[in-house]
């Protein structure tokens, strides 16, 4: 997501059904044969309407991601927080380059000397350093790898 897009307020694009869908399922999604039908039953929507609404919110970048979160480390992979120092005038173009890597998630602009922060999740622990190097080669900017020292669970949810 570009810095300009991060600043843009898109809440006016949501109706009450979109808000109900976001608020009800960002912290728990049903694990069933037909989860979208189950969600629809609970919210008074059809299965097709639930799917269409999610697709529309993704297309309009109201949602930047929709899907499960896996603990990469428990699956034998690598996970880290990374940051970069990017000149303001190049931020959007570098963000696009960084976001092209499938290992990158949760890319955020920060008011800090290190102004671009993102999470890397890789198939192996060694993949972290490899991905950092590939990002550096593609962008021309250093990636600061900040592996976690301790893990805390914070169930963060945003009311739409």
**Residue 2 pLDDT greater than 80, yes or no:** no
Contacts of residues 9-13 at CB distance under 8 Å and 24 or more positions apart, as own/partner, are 10/60, 10/61, 10/62, 11/160, 13/60, 13/62
CATH number at residue 116: 3.30.70.3460
Claim to verify: residue 55 and residue 84 sit in the same structural domain = no
Q: Give the count of beta carbons closer than 10 Å to the beta carbon of residue 100.
A: 10
**Contact call for residues 131 and 101 (beta carbons, < 8 A):** yes
pLDDT band, residue 25 (cuts 50/70/90):
confident
pLDDT, residue 156, reads 57
Q: What is the mean pLDDT of the chain?
A: 86
Q: How far, CA to CA in Å, does 82 sit from each of 93, 120, 147?
A: 18, 7, 8
d(CA 160, CA 155): 16
* 73 domain residue, yes or no: no
Closest by Cα among 74, 65, 56 to 26: 65
Average pLDDT over residues 66-92: 87
* 70 domain residue, yes or no: no
Closest by Cα among 67, 70, 68 to 79: 70
Claim to verify: residue 97 and residue 138 sit in the same structural domain = yes
pLDDT, residue 1, reads 46
* 160 domain residue, yes or no: no
Range of the domain at 105: 78-146
CA angle, corner 121, sides to 34 and 60, nearest 5?
Answer: 55
Average pLDDT over residues 70-83: 84
Give the residue with greater pLDDT, 31 vs 28: 31
> Beta-strand (E) ranges in 46-101?
78-84
- The tally of domains found in the chain comes to 2
């Amino acid at each position: 997501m570009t810095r300009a897009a991060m600043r843009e307020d898109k809440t006016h694009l949501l109706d009450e059904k979109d808000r109900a869908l976001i608020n009800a399922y960002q912290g728990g999604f049903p694990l069933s044969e037909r989860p979208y039908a189950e969600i629809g039953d609970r919210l008074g929507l059809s299965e097709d309407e639930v799917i269409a609404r999610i697709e529309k919110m993704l297309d309009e970048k109201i949602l930047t991601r929709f899907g499960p979160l896996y603990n990469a480390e428990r699956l034998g992979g690598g996970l880290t927080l990374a940051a970069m120092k990017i000149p303001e005038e190049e931020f959007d173009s570098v963000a696009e380059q960084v976001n092209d890597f499938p290992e990158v998630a949760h890319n955020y602009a920060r008011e800090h000397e290190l102004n671009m922060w993102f999470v890397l999740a890789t198939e192996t622990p060694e993949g972290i350093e490899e991905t950092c190097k590939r990002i550096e080669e593609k962008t021309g900017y250093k990636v600061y790898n900040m592996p976690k020292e301790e893990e805390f669970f914070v169930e963060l949810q945003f009311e739409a």
